[in-house]
Structures are given as C-alpha cells and as structure tokens.
Amino acid sequence: MSVGSPRLRPGTPDDAWVCGRICYEAFGTLAEHHRFPPDFPSPEHAAETLGRLLAHPRFYSVVAELDGRVVGSNFLDERSTIAGLGPITVDPGVQNAGVGRRLMLAALERASGKQCPGIRLLQAAYHNRSLSLYTTLGFNVREPVVTLQGPPIGEAVPGYTVRKAGEGDLEACNRVCAGVHGHDRSGELLDAIHEGGASVVEHGGRITGYTTGIAFFAHSVGETNEDLKALIAAAREFGAGAERRGLSLEPRPRAQGRPGDDADEPRALQRAGRSLPPLDPLLNLKAHLIDRTEGNPFLLEESARTLAVVRR
C-alpha cells in the first residue's frame, strides 16, 4: 500500500479515544485472523488503558497522522533502567505502508536520547510482519511467552507471608530485583504502591519478593520459585482489575526465579496451588519477548506470569 509520509507528534490525553479505537481494531483484527482471543475486550477498555499512558508523566508517547487523521501510536515506559516499548498500533487500513516503522524509529530515538541501556517489548508470535520489522531495527528474540488465565487461587504457601506493600518496603524490594535481574524497577513498583496494587512476600523474616500485580502491565520478582508461587497463590485477582494498577508495560506476567531454576516451566505455576486450573486451550504460545541492548550484558526473559530482565 502506498500512503503519504505520516506526521509525528507527541500524544496527549485528548488522543485516548481515537488511539484506543485503533489499538482495539489493530490487535483485534490480527487476533481474529489467527483465531486468538483479543488482547482488549472493547474499544473502551483500550481507550482507558492508553488514556492512562498518555496522561502519565514518565511515558513517552508519539502519534502518527495522515492528512490530519490519527492513524497510529506508540509508547515508551521510561520509569526504569530498561525501557518498555509499546503498545504500538497502526490503523488496519494503512498498515504495511511504513507508519509502524516511523513510530518505532521515533521511540528508539527517544530511548537513545535518554541513554537507555536496553529496550524490551512483547510481540505476538503469530504476527510475522511485526517480527520482521523489529528484527530489522536491531531487536533480538529472547524467549517464547505463554498466556495462562484462570480464577484467583486464594491459598497460602506454608512459610511464606504475603502482605500489601508500602513505601517503606521499596528499598528491600529494589534489592531483591537487583539481585535477580541486575537492576531495579523502582519507578514501576512505586506507582503500584501508590495505587494500592503492590504486594510483598516475606520468608525467614525478610522480604524475598514482590509483585505489582498478576496481570498485563505488571511484573513480579522473587528470589526463588516458592516466593513467586506464594505471590501468585495469594493474588486476589488476575487480569483486568490488577492491570489498572502498576502500568508496567508490556506483557502478561510470568513466574521468574533465579536463572537455572524451573520458572520457565508453565507447570511450575500449577504447583502454586491446587485450585489453579489445568493447562487448557487458553494456555497458548502467545508472544515472543524481544529486546534491543546497547552493549549492555542484559538478557531479557518472559513467560507466563511476570516480566523479568536478568543480568547474566
């Protein structure tokens, strides 16, 4: 398809509805074509999500226009050392015409200006066109990701206490994250604490893990798989309610322990509690985690229930 060169400008909260509608249609059209459930249940839900990002002072947003009409948007989460890119969406009517590339280049230029050592994003595994774009822009596929859905478990793991996180826990949580991943995600955690969605897990008299929510736009960190299991088992909600807090782009989260343990095994999540539903068609190879680093020894990993950046 041939279209004119898009005009790029910063996004504003007034763009929430049109960008949300495009986001819903772009992801929904793709998911329907591949017979997957949509990432957003409605245009209103997508608009609400993007509205929060557009209004957040530590999210960079860029909007593409053609002939004065908004045709796409992209975001960069700048709250932590590793920037989070997305969601990036383009109106289905003007896809495959270079709009997405322009939006990506704008975000990468922004990250470069901020001297971010690395960038992460989550890409739908069935979308080969976007994978091709990200590859040409220097991104590397790190790991396959699955989506695991179900009701809250509502159980406790013996020896592990889960409670609501407060600002006084920030330093201890940052130490845990830095110990597991090589850096902290303090900005994202602080947002979740202020919004009431963060929890910590304690074991042996100290904090050994935390979560900003078991959902999209959230992450969890634990020193061991038992810490992650405790956080998952104690979660009061999965999905929509939790993802309104924390705003940690991009994916559906996963259990991640120290390198070398079995956090990458989806059945480790089943062992978190008896009432976790068995693996079923809702557990699907949904996406790839992709990263772009600038000479920094970070390895990004992602799977079923938390985002992790692991330094090897």
Q: Dump pLDDT digits (tens) for 292-307.
A: 655 443 333 333 333 3
Instruction: Pick from 34-43, 244-253, 261-270 the range whose average pLDDT is largest.
Output: 34-43
Question: Going from the N-terminus, what domains does the chain have, and what CATH number goes with each?
Answer: 7-116 (3.40.630.30), 161-283+300-311 (3.40.630)
Q: How confident is the model at residue 285 (pLDDT cuts 50, 70, 90)?
A: very low
Q: What CA–CA distance (Å, rounded) separates 295 from 117?
A: 7
Closest CA to 90 of 72, 74, 105, 102: 72
Q: Dump pLDDT digits (tens) for 209-224.
A: 999 998 878 899 999 9
- Please state the pTM of the whole predicted model: 0.76
**Is 231's pLDDT higher than 50?**
yes
CB 173 within 8 A of CB 201: no
Q: What CA–CA distance (Å, rounded) separates 140 from 134?
A: 8
